[in-house]
Structure 1
């Protein structure tokens, strides 16, 4: 084990357990195994490589209670974030997870055995207390939503023996373990390193902030972005890393290096800032920048901030003496157009002319293709962002039509497909209910569970096509609200989703049914038929409601096109 900076010991479990790797691997094949989730994998990787030192495993109950209540492990070591292996009662019972048991921890992505956990204890956490003490208690906080909705009911604590490191296929040369990064600093002759945490693209203000921090402390800069799990809706890490790589030449020669951190963020504000400082100390940094609203998730539905703007700085300052890393507190950097420079907000005289572009405004300019000035960001960075965020007229979208059998939704879908293809500019995909049933869902029946599964498959295909920039037209019956909402949520990760309720009355659908399908359903020849012996839940959040008994297909298609044009999706077609 290598000595950590400031006299600590880096608990690199991969290095520690390397001599026993073959023995542990053989044992792991015989043990019951747990497939780890993406967040658990992020946590495991940093436990194994020493990023979470002094942790040697997932927290047992004593350590967990100490961290929640006092930011301390049971042995008194400073630690601010619960790192817990959550499991369901079913998994615990089926695998015989109990004190003394040995369990293999396996990567869900490739089924590789990564480590063996020796169980200390199995305990049921007080989630309400954890939510309040660690994250502040607001039920809208994303970490609390995750805690209540996704985290399983039991935690399993215990120490870990390492078998193998996680396998990554992207940016391998930038993925330094703590020991590797400290060795890299040694090779460069760096004795003072200012670490900068980020989960967003960096612009000119960030460059000015980090250069100023480094010069004031006669140090170099470690740009250390999170590439594990961040806040939902954040820009993907592939785009962000390309931005950081483009920014690096803008630093004075040799001042900065880039390393990636596979952390699963909790957006925990003050607690997270303290956690981040400990992690950067383990990676060899001597200084750590804590800015305004560090790791905060923004505002709740009432427009209230989850944390005060400098709560994180205050908490980290409280533990300054024992942290082993110097905290660099920085205020927001503001651009002064008259002198073409950035300065901290507290150094700007009252009445000085300033300029700023908010995150919301930046996203708007990226969507519309509007100018992003060089005083805000460098051209090479804007180029990277525009590649990943094309203007609205080039983005994918999904039009999801729902209604009774023979409501006209298929005719509308076909006509809209022709209209969009005629205009050109992007590929158009048509997912008719009957086509999907034949090609993707041929084994499914018409029970509620099978209907939901069918809509889920349509949503998945639509989301992938939307992500690729296509226009998607889907037209299933989709009688139930929950899967329609799930479809919207999935597609909107990648583009716009428009729910069109084809509200043609059932009587009209039945009267104009030339194929006699309704008659067969009335005669009992078809079961689970929507509108006859199965319900249809009317959408309450449709973006457009139309009725073929009152309007023509041509008129309805025109209404949909106007909806798309108003959103800027067809401007350049």
Structure 2
């Protein structure tokens, strides 16, 4: 999958711009560091402390509100127990049958509890699961649809099911052994893994990362119910300050008096092609008449596959991008999206877009082959690279989200920088894949000047150097064993 090329923003059908304008460390591919490699406050301070003085963008004296798009299903859910009730809820949870959570289960608890999956109020019961699995949406009581393309479910095994018995509530225990919350009015139903995998990924080929990590070892039953979380989910990895909830983001957009919010989801380092895309999007929004469009740079922070760059490295790299002025800190908010990654292509990209609606973004940027990956057993892309952007333009429940068209970007060997691809001089453009970028970093070879800011590139080189330094010690350990 090319990281540096064919960056698009899909065309939204029935778009009416004028009408709309008024924990534990989550990096599974590296050992947990005792000390984060980036300052957890540096990026937040850069983003929040450089706020320009805003002029009124409407003739009305009423303060500008950036919450231009309502959360799915109405008000945002907040499933964290009020502090005054936590002690009694913890005692109740202790008395209930227990369900043990994996690290990825905990990430989903985090997602649900803050309203990213609004209006979902817990792990899915069977009717919600089937709607999500077969229709990629949920029907509300008023007959409207909200997008819900990924099943958000909790698996249990036979032994846990027997221990629960006839209890209608269960306590949830985190990976570290502490109580996390309560699941109420539960429903237990069969976990048909093959159906779930086939419907979500469109294949049952071996080697799908999320399937191997989460679904294959999971139990044969699913348990759904309404969630209560005893305390806000924290990971204590030095990055919790970046994990802003949908409500916190909406508050920040309001504070900055944004009149448009455009979100960019990524799970890779930011190179200058990404920056070109984001900066040009802001320029286009200004040309449409918006006065203060704000960028939500929103890297994915949950489970990722083993060869992806770890979250802490990505966050340090993003910080350098801001320090080097590639993106403007005054008009950019960097925050972590806590969802695990499925690599389910057009199915998953709907989830990524839907979640940003709940955070208040009313524009969404989508690139080539979003949420895709190479086929696990064949030498080809698992999904059509253009299907993600096409699906976003027609997906039920995403009609209110603006998705704009965009152009291809690549490295211009004449101008020595990332530029929009010009077919009339195609021989001047170089397409650098993510694999090639990682090969450069591993070998210590520099990419072409203008591909990535020097500070950000140095972060990647140091990361891959650290991996190479670990290899001899791992080999010695194996030999001694």
For normalisation by structure 2, the TM-score amounts to 0.77
Shift of 1:472: 4.2
User: 231, 235, 244: which one pairs with 2:309?
Assistant: 235
1:236-251 to 2 correspondences below 5 Å: 236-249=310-323, 250=325, 251=327
Return the structure number with greater relative CO, CA threshold 8 A, min gap 6: 2
Matches within 5 A, 1:85-484: 85-96=154-165, 98=166, 101-109=168-176, 111-140=177-206, 141-146=208-213, 149-169=216-236, 170-218=238-286, 219-249=293-323, 250=325, 251-252=327-328, 254-319=330-395, 322-345=398-421, 347-390=422-465, 395-397=469-471, 465-466=473-474, 471-472=476-477, 474-476=479-481
Q: Distance in 1 between matches of 2:197 and 2:301?
A: 25
Structure 1: tracts of 5 or more residues without a match: 399-464, 477-573
C-alpha distance in 1 between matches for 2:272 and 2:248: 29
Structure 1 residues 370-379 or 328-337, which shifts more? 328-337
- Number of residue equivalences: 401
Measure how far apart 1:150 and its partner are. 2.0
**Alignment partners' CA distance in 1, 2:337 and 2:476:** 36
Q: How does 1:503-514 map to 2 (within 5 A)?
A: none
Q: Distance in 1 between matches of 2:70 and 2:434?
A: 40
1:552-571 superposed matches below 5 A: none
**Structure 1 residue 123: Cα displacement:** 0.7
Residues 147 and 241 from structure 1, CA distance in 2 versus in 1: closer, same or farther, beyond 3 angstroms? closer
**1:28 match:** 93
Q: Which residue of 1 aligns with 2:147?
A: 78
CA distance in 2, matches of 1:4, 1:193: 9
Task: Name the CA distance, whole Å, in 2 between partners of 1:164 and 1:294.
Answer: 33
Task: Choose from 48, 54, 57 the match for 2:119.
Answer: 54
Q: Separation in 2 of the partners of 1:148 and 1:207?
A: 35
Q: What is the distance in 1 between the residues matched to 2:427 and 2:459?
A: 32
Instruction: Determine the C-alpha separation between the residues in 2 that align with 1:16 and 1:215.
Output: 42
Taking a change above 3 Å as real, the CA distance of residues 352 and 3 of structure 1, as seen in their structure-2 partners, is closer
Equivalent in 57, 77, 96 of residue 12 of structure 1:
77
Distance of 2:220 and 2:67 partners within structure 1 = 36
Two-structure CA RMSD over aligned residues (Å): 2.5
How far apart, CA to CA, are the structure 1 residues paired with 2:371 and 2:379?
17
SS at match of 2:365: strand
TM-fit CA distance, 1:74: 4.8
* In structure 2, C-alpha distance between the alignment counterparts of 1:330 and 1:225, rounded to whole Å: 20
Q: Which residue of 2 aligns with 1:452?
A: none
How far residue 374 of structure 1 moved from its aligned partner, in angstroms, is: 2.5
8 Å CA contact 1:17–1:161 kept in 2: the answer is no
Q: Compared with structure 1, are the counterparts of its residues 142 and 168 closer, same or farther at alpha carbon in structure 2 (3 Å cutoff)? A: closer
1:78-111: per-residue Cα shift (whole Å, max 9, x none)? Answer: 2110000000011111232x5x6111112212x3
Q: Is this contact kept in 2: 1:248–1:257, CA < 8 A?
A: no
Q: 1:515-544 deviations in whole A, cap 9, x for unaligned? A: xxxxxxxxxxxxxxxxxxxxxxxxxxxxxx
Deviation at 1:269, TM superposition (A): 0.6
Shift of 1:184: 0.9
Greater Cα radius of gyration, structure 1 or 2: 1
CA-CA distance at 1:148 after TM superposition? 5.2
Give per-residue Cα distances to partners, 1:40-85, cap 9 Å, x unaligned. 1110001111111111000101111111111122534321100000
Contact 1:31–1:104 at 8 Å: present in 2 too? yes
SS where residue 455 of structure 2 aligns?
helix
Find the aligned partners of 1:198 and 1:143 in 2 and give their Cα distance. 17
How many angstroms does 1:371 deviate by? 2.4
TM-score normalized by the length of structure 1: 0.66
CA offsets per residue over residues 356-415 of structure 1, 9 Å max, x none? 3322222222222222332211110111112211188x53335xxxxxxxxxxxxxxxxx
| Structure 1 SS opposite 2:456 | helix
C-alpha separation in 1, matches of 2:386 and 2:81: 39
Q: Tell whether the 8 Å contact from 2:320 to 2:456 is kept in structure 1 after alignment.
A: yes
What is residue 69 of structure 1 aligned with on the other side?
134
Once residues 131 and 180 of structure 2 are traced to their aligned partners in structure 1, the CA distance between those partners, rounded to angstroms, is 28
1:453-498 per-residue CA deviation (whole Å, 9 max, x = no partner) reads xxxxxxxxxxxx43xxx8546244xxxxxxxxxxxxxxxxxxxxxx
- Asked whether the equivalents of residues 13 and 161 of structure 1 are also in contact (C-alpha less than 8 Å), the reply is no
Partner residue, 2:49? none
Contact preservation (8 Å) 1:205, 1:342: yes
In structure 2, runs of 5+ residues without a counterpart are 1-64, 287-292
